[in-house]
Structure 1
Amino acid sequence: MNNNQKRPEPAALATTIEALAARFGNRLVTSQAVREQHGHTTTWLPNQPPDAVVMAQETADIQDVVRICAANGVPVIAFGTGTSLEGQVNAAAGGVCIDLRDMNRILEVHAEDLDCVIQPGVTRKALNENLRDQGLFFPIDPGADASLGGMASTRASGTNAVRYGTMRDNVLALKVVRGDGEIIKTGTRAKKSSAGYDLTHLFVGAEGTLGIISELTIKLRGIPDTIAAASCSFATVAGACQATILAVQTGIPLARIELLNEAQVRCCNAYSKLTLPETPLLLLEFHGSEAEVAEQSKNFREIALECGGGDFTWTTRPEDRTKLWQARHDAYWSVKSLRPGSDVAATDVCVPISRLAECVTETEEDLARMNLVAPIVGHVGDGNFHCSMLCDRNDAEEVARAEAFMHRLVERAQAMGGTCTGEHGIGQGKQKYLKAELGVEALDAMRAIKLAMDPQNIFNPGKILPAR
């Protein structure tokens, strides 16, 4: 098996498109503009559009696309909302993209069991809007209004992960279309099981390389009685990281704790019309009863003062909380607005929390030395942080510096016992780092799984696994 599969033969592709047109009519789209929209969106990797796009509306549609493509050896790429950052939806070998946005039904809500069953095109905002009247919410928040199927496929996490975990911790079961078009059921609604291999978590994070998710059963949580948002300024990034470490170690049940370095605070102030002190900043959120939230805020403030923290403000007003967190979620766009016309190369790493301050500080030193602009934000309760680097793609020298910086960043994280990606995934962008991180034996095991589950290599070829 060659993971970097060649494009299908023209005759096979033509046969495939003809069969899809007969089955789907005007739900098969081959226009250049639509195909390019279904290549990458928020990544700076080159656009690799599919040869055709099918708008799926039900599981049977996915099954039929897979069967037709498998019969002709044509690749199949699943598409949710296109917010992935490492080229996961690029059609590296051409083929057919299955757009799942119309598979957006919430099939069952079991409020008493705190779970629900949904189609893969449901977005997190739409789900939470639907659940609000029942006093429930789905906590995983990667920032973008991503589809839940895409979030499962990339093992997404985000700002709430420090308390509620990642997609890995919140998916109970899946239904997946395999290479022959049949359905695999990976689990049940039970909160735990010892029945067989853990197929659910094999597909969570597989980036569509082993099959296509057609249904998800996910955990829900009760909306907290009181939610407070807070901000706390620090003189140094090291002080902010130390406060985070102490807060986690002392057991404060933080719902969110986000680091913005000085450069990122300036961007957020300018883009979101805020007046935050332009020094390293922690944004926090506390969940619980009114008394619990007040106690959590008090305890964190004491820790922050020990670590050189300055201004500490907190609020329970929904409009204030929304404004603060919207500014955090708009961090990517705030950086992009600094230099219109430049691209933003967003990358992330994750290290053990004890090495976080060291890793962030050395990364800032690298940026200054290499004359690069890359504000830093981080889900620091997990040791995960992101650099949003501005780069003129037409400036070869700047591109070279940017690539060297990202390489050094990953090597630094891995040397500290961390990973090349905490939540963006591997896709195409970080394939070259897997061998150093996991070893040849682990890659061989992954290749064996890929070969067993997808012997024709039609599911999203050219992703995750580096070429031999």
Structure 2
Amino acid sequence: MSATRLARAAKPFGRSLTCLNSSGKQRFSTSAIPRTSTSGSSEQPRQASVWSYSGVMAVAATAGLFGWGMSEFRHGSLPKTMLFDSLYAYPRYASMHEMEQALREIRQEIGGAEDIISTDPDDLHAHGYSEWSTSNPEGLPVAVTYPRSTEQVSTIARICHKYRVPIIPYSGGSSLEGNFSAPFGGISVDFAYMDRIVQFNKNDMDVVVQPSIGWQDLNEQLAKMESGLFFPIDPGPSAKIGGMIGTNCSGTNAVKYGTMKDWVINLTVVLADGTVIKTRRRPRKSSAGYNLNGLFVGSEGTLGLVTEATLKLAVIPEEFSVAVVTFPSIRDAASAAAEVMQTGIPVAAMEIMDEVQMKVVNMGGATAPRVWKEMPTLFFKFSGTKAGVRENIGLVQKITKANKGSNFEFAKDAREQKLLWSARKESLWSMLALRKEGEEVWSTDVAVPFSRLADIIEVSKKEMDELGLFASILGHIGDGNFHESIIYNRRDKAEVKKVEACVKNMVKRALEMEGTCTGEHSIGWGKKESLLWEVGEDTLGVMRAIKMALDPNWIMNPGKIFDRQS
């Protein structure tokens, strides 16, 4: 439901915005809640909304309830005769009255001194709809909570568990598969105020952080402390640690440093009933019991809410160098990348961008006045000792030349290195800036073994070009992971259908090549069918059993990864 449609639906409900204070009276204004941008900075508070609390609650709850029924109907989980008469039984979530009571109890237990709850329509929309995701089921959260501590998150979870209110975690909001959508309504838990470094252990090369600190902000603070250390996992610029843990993301540095799961030492997690656990202690290795880190990393908040994480840090390399090399075809570029990996050359990062993406870089002007050739291109980052960097550059140059690559073009200084790499990392945002009225960007990813990389990229590129749309391929080719990004008109049903078919073909192709339906975006709402294709019903059954054991009421980010079975 768009903000316009939501506003239109709520007009009859009144003009004064109130909420529940510590005495249970509806007297809470949202005007004091700062808006947190994707970079983590706070904007000035807005004027209080003119909506009534009951009006917003009614519209959001109705949207959530209807969205749940329709989503289950569309996915085949409900027969037509069950669409409305079994909503409360499968599964039974809180009624309108129970949601109001849950919010009242949250306010009473946490106290009225802090602006902990928002029912502002803009907040609800921002926490249930993503402009850069094509996976946006109908439905919005009924309220957004802004906890400041693990204890407050525990209180929220315990009360939501009592009343069966869905809980949806939210940190950076940059996910691409509808990971933070609210198809069943419920409460969004926004960690915007939990964005601090809790403890820095320089000698142990680790750091304890809260979930809403961005990886870039973390590295900036480590640099200001002159620590000589950094956190190497680098997805999109606006990503926060909580979301990075939830999706087991990676980024451009994955070829050298691995993915998020490789850098988590331990987690503090609030379970569905409010119980607080710690997955491990602080040593970098342990064989004590089950690997709970592996269970919660990548679970997208469906098993618990991460409120603190202890992360490993790496030493900042002595030398960096960034270069690009162009190729006559996308297959030549992919073949060169596969050979670099098969040869075992320790590049720090290796990215691929087709001619369309290179055009986007030039149009964006991020590296102006320098203009890059609009051809299939590999980006290389080299790091290490000065001698090691020189040696690795020479080895890679030989491989790229043998695969029809041009001469290396190096960034001339540290500033241009940063600009060039930023242009690569902000490619999705650059494409979003090119949209016209009614257009969206469908961006999704797969990963395959190195030996099949050139095959899948060549075929996928050909199919995308045949769409006749502004479409491109890019990705972390060093670990077999690449993305398709397609601009399409969401109002043109035929266009949407053919783009959807193209994306599904890419996924099926990857699975046929023993790959995965998602290398780093995770499953969310959008790729549940793909997950079934990949692992099968028996494996999904094991996942459901784990979720049922930890979340028997199915309130933790419901509708993500897989659906509940009757």
TM-score class normalised by the smaller sequence: over 0.9
Measure how far apart 1:429 and its partner are: 0.3
Change (3 A) 1:275 1:27: same
Greater strand content: 1
Relative contact order higher in (CA < 8 Å, ≥ 6 apart) = 1
Match of 1:307 in 2: 403
**What letter matches 1:27 in structure 2?**
I
Deviations 1:251-307 (A, max 9, x none): 211111000011111111111345111110001101111111111111111111111
After superposition, where does 1:32-431 map in structure 2 within 5 Å?
32-41=121-130, 42-46=132-136, 48-132=139-223, 133-272=226-365, 273=368, 274-315=370-411, 317-341=413-437, 342-431=439-528
Which amino acid letter does the alignment assign opposite residue 458 of structure 1? I
The reply on whether 1:11 has 2:97 as its aligned counterpart is yes
What secondary structure, in the 3-state scheme, does the structure 2 residue paired with 1:375 have?
strand
Give 2:561's aligned residue: 464
Shift of 1:136: 0.6
SS of 1:254 mapped into structure 2? coil
- Structure 1 runs (4+) greater than 6 angstroms displaced: none
Range with greater deviation from structure 2 (363-372 or 30-39):
363-372
The CA distance in 1 between the partners of 2:230 and 2:327, in whole Å, is 32
Mark the CA change 1:277 to 1:24 in structure 2 (over 3 Å): closer, same or farther. Answer: farther
- 1:22-68: per-residue Cα shift (whole Å, max 9, x none)? 33542210011111111132212236321001111111110110011
CA separation of 1:455 and 1:223: change in aligned 2, threshold 3 A: same
**What amino acid is aligned across from residue 211 of structure 2 in structure 1?**
P
The CA distance in 2 between the partners of 1:368 and 1:97, in whole Å, is 39
Name the amino acid aligned to 1:418: G
Report the 3-state secondary structure (helix = DSSP H, G, I; strand = E; otherwise coil) of the residue aligned with 1:169: helix
The one-letter amino acid of 2:192's match is R
Q: Deviations over 1:64-109 (max 9, x none)?
A: 1001111111011111010111001001211111110211111111
For residues 242 and 432 of structure 1, the distance between their equivalents in structure 2, rounded to whole angstroms, comes to: 30
SS of 1:299's equivalent?
A: helix
Native 8 Å contact 1:228 1:316 kept in 2: no
Deviations 1:206-259 (A, max 9, x none): 000000001101110011111111111111111111111111122211111000
* SS in structure 2 of the partner of residue 217 of structure 1: strand
Aligned-partner SS, 2:563: coil
Is residue 170–residue 218 contact of structure 1 (8 Å, CA) maintained in 2?
Answer: yes
Cα distance between partner residues in 2 of 1:404 and 1:249: 32
- For 1:410 and 1:62, locate their aligned partners in 2 and report how far apart those are by CA, in whole Å: 37
- Distance in 1 separating the partners of 2:411 and 2:374: 20
Q: Is residue 228–residue 315 contact of structure 1 (8 Å, CA) maintained in 2?
A: yes
From 530, 537, 543, the equivalent of 1:446 is 543
5+ residue gaps, structure 1, are none
- Structure 2 counterpart of 1:30: 119
Q: Distance in 1 between matches of 2:205 and 2:450?
A: 31
Amino acid of the structure 2 residue aligned with 1:120: P
TM superposition shift of 1:7: 4.8
- Distance between the aligned counterparts of 2:282 and 2:293, measured in 1? 12
Find the residue that maps to 1:89 and give its secondary structure.
coil
Which stretch shows the higher mean deviation, 253-262 or 142-151? 142-151
Q: Using the alignment, how far apart are the partners of 1:391 and 1:317 within structure 2?
A: 37
> Displacement of 1:372 after TM fit?
3.1
Check the 8 A contact 1:162/1:255 in 2, yes or no.
yes
SS in structure 1 at match of 2:177: coil
How many residue pairs get aligned? The number is: 467
Larger deviation, residues 204-213 vs 348-357: 348-357
Distance 1:175 1:271, change over 3 A: same
Do the aligned partners of 2:166 and 2:185 also contact (CA within 8 Å) in 1?
yes
Is the 1:117–1:216 contact (alpha carbons within 8 Å) kept by the matching residues of 2? yes
**Cα distance in 2, alignment partners of residues 429 and 6 from structure 1:** 23
Take 1:48 and 1:287, find their aligned partners in 2: how far apart are those partners?
46
Report how far residue 412 of structure 1 moved.
0.6
Shift of 1:365: 1.2
| Residue 5 (structure 1) shift | 4.2
Query: Sequence identity of aligned pairs in percent?
Result: 40
For 2:342 and 2:412, the matched residues in 1 are separated by: 25
Q: CA deviation at 1:316?
A: 6.5
Structure showing greater Rg: 2
* CA distance 1:271–1:5, shift in 2 (3 Å): farther
The unaligned stretches of length 5 or more in structure 2 are 1-71, 78-89
* 1:186 CA displacement: 0.6
> In 2, are the aligned partners of 1:6 and 1:93 still within 8 Å (CA)?
no
What SS does the aligned partner of 2:471 have? Answer: coil
CA distance in 1, matches of 2:337, 2:233: 20
